Amino acid sequence: MNVKYKIDSVSIQDYLEGELQSEIKHEYIDGQVYAMAGASTNHNRIVANILSALHAKLRKTPCEPFASDMKVRVADDFYYPDVLVVCNHQGNDYGVTGAPILIVEVLSKATRKIDQTLKRQAYQSLESLQEYVVIEQDFVDVEICRQKNHWQSEHYFMGDELHLETIDCRIPVEMIYERVENEDVLNYLEQQASAMQNEN
């Protein structure tokens, strides 16, 4: 999720109609419209890496991944997750779904609070949602919460493999952070390079 700033209150219908015309995406929370700012390079790299793995896994299945252009409706609120997976999706004019089985959010300093509180609670109220993944971009930490485990958190780091059970997709954490530039990633790559030199 990206940095937001608040705009005047509008009706749901006006919000949905406005999104069709707007060049900027907005989320709709408690009757208020919030504009979404652009994402960082690391954010975009993580999203691209996740989407690549999901596309490869879900080819020729009834499920498909979407990036942040697909809105999720929770009661009367509308959110743009960074990545989501929907099965048997029936397209609609407004790009809205209410039944994702998997949602991924990439955190930033500016959005951590709302992603970890308001949006987490909203997403986890969805009956369809089986897994919620939260990824840090400034350091290495992949958190996954599963409905079947009462949304308890599990954390994964470099050298681990993330298993998205809902779609039986395994993604090495190293792949999630491919090309991402932060201290944890750089240290890990240096350790890997040093280990290879020692073997030779």
**With 60 as the cut, is the pLDDT of residue 5 above it?**
no
**pTM, rounded to two decimals:** 0.91
What's the number of domains the chain is made of?
1
Mean pLDDT value of segment 155-160? 97
Assign 14 to helix, strand or coil.
Answer: helix
Is a pLDDT exceeding 50 seen at residue 3? Answer: no
Q: Which two tokens stand for residue 176?
A: 């999630």
Residue range 16-35, pLDDT digits in tens: 999 999 989 999 999 999 88
Convert the pLDDT of each residue in 60-96 to its tens digit: 999 999 998 899 999 999 999 999 999 998 778 789 9
- pLDDT tops 90 at residue 102: yes
| CA distances for 31 relative to 3, 5, 78, 90, 192, angstroms | 18, 14, 10, 26, 50
β-sheet with 96-97: strand ranges across:
4-7, 32-36, 26-29, 77-79, 71-74, 96-97
Q: What is the CATH number of the domain that holds 11?
A: 3.90.1570.10
* Cβ-Cβ contacts under 8 Å for 109 (sequence gap 6 or more): 138
Please state, in angstroms and rounded to a whole number, the distance separating the CA atoms of residues 120 and 144.
11
Domain that holds residue 71: 4-199
Q: What is the pLDDT of residue 92?
A: 80
Listed in sequence order, the residues at least 6 apart from 137 whose beta carbon sits closer than 8 Å to its beta carbon are 40, 42, 43, 46, 106, 107, 108, 180, 182
